[in-house]
Amino acid sequence: MNAFMEQYWSFYNAGVAIFLFAGLSLVLKLIFFRRKRHKKEPHLTFKHWNHRFESDFRNLEKELHVVQFLPKDATKLLKKAKKKEDKEEKQKNKEKSEKTVMDIRKKLEGGQKTKEVLKQHSNCVYVLTFIGNIMAAEVEHLRDQISFLLEIAQPADEIVIRLTSPGGAVPQYGLASSQLERLKKAGLRCVVCVDTVAASGGYMMAAVADKIIAAPFAIIGSIGVVAGIPNFHRVLQKNEVDYHLFTAGKYKRTVTPFSKVTKEGKQKMQDDISAIHDAFKKVIKEGRPDVDIDEIATGEYWLASDAKEKGLVDEIMTSDDYLCGKIEDWEVIEINTEVNQNRLEKLIEGGASLFRQWRNSKIPGAGEEVDDLSQRFR
């Protein structure tokens, strides 16, 4: 009797646990489904670099007024000089504005269209940020940002891409570099700034630009292709396990994890990799016609200072220095894509970001080009 009751209660508890688990799963599914239905689409946000520190400067001035570290007479003298400088600056800006207005008025009275006049007087630098992983996940945001810029940017404007990428899958980075090619086809000047790494597929993106600027210790290059597939055929044979693979087409599957690797299959895999490498080199040569392609397309990577000597980089400078140098004469506007996330998604994204930082801090070029060539044939 006791054994029966123990068995009964164990089945009862198991049933209750399964029922509770199923109910909890259903509730969670409904919650996520409702959130997904009402989830807002990603949208673009804008940051004006020219005025990004204005509030900080005002706060600093207030703080300096509270904590005096100069004699009062000296402070009064500085205030007077500052007012005079501000007045002169306002007068200079006013004269410049009046001159621009007169110039535009003459052109409009001369019969020029407003669109043509706007092209001549636009002076914006649009800043995009691309942080690439092995699958170039941000390419979706990049394509939306570039599509937006193609609608509003004028030929006199400049597009700056702050690029960070150790490379990744061939199709994804091919698409990413094609997005930058759209800017060039539209007649827009494109500048890529590399502060940390642009290797493999990341450098393929950079090579499309009109100019490449890199920080002194940025990693540049790794122009090569890699593929690796473990093979368990002998393990299966040893354990008397048969593996049957059915294909239609001679080269539908050449090297797989469980089939016997033949010389013909290995050669076909090598031919595929070489063909991708040739296409890679062609993109680099088109973007950087002066480089010795056979010297640089070895899979090696270099510091930016050495890469400049090989023609892979045009200028050694951080993106901050380049953009701050533009502020005086240009309107510098940073464009980002904001995605509305719930707390769980933010937690997951934060963890993924930490993992990417840890991975990128390891061996340069890790996670390069082709991890799975089979993607090309699906």
Query: Which residues carry out catalysis?
Result: 200, 252
Alpha-carbon gap, residue 172 to 179, rounded angstroms = 11
Closest by alpha carbon to 364, among 299, 306, 288? 299
Instruction: Work out the number of other CB atoms within 10 angstroms of the CB of residue 313.
Output: 29
Residue type, position 352, single letter: A
CA distance linking residue 332 with residue 320, whole number of Å: 12
Classify 2 as helix, strand or coil: helix
Q: Which of 184, 177, 178 minimizes the C-alpha distance to 159?
A: 184
d(CA 125, CA 330): 7
Residue among 75, 307, 328 at smallest CA distance from 203: 307
CA distance to 119, 146, 259, 326, per residue, from 123 (Å) = 9, 18, 60, 10
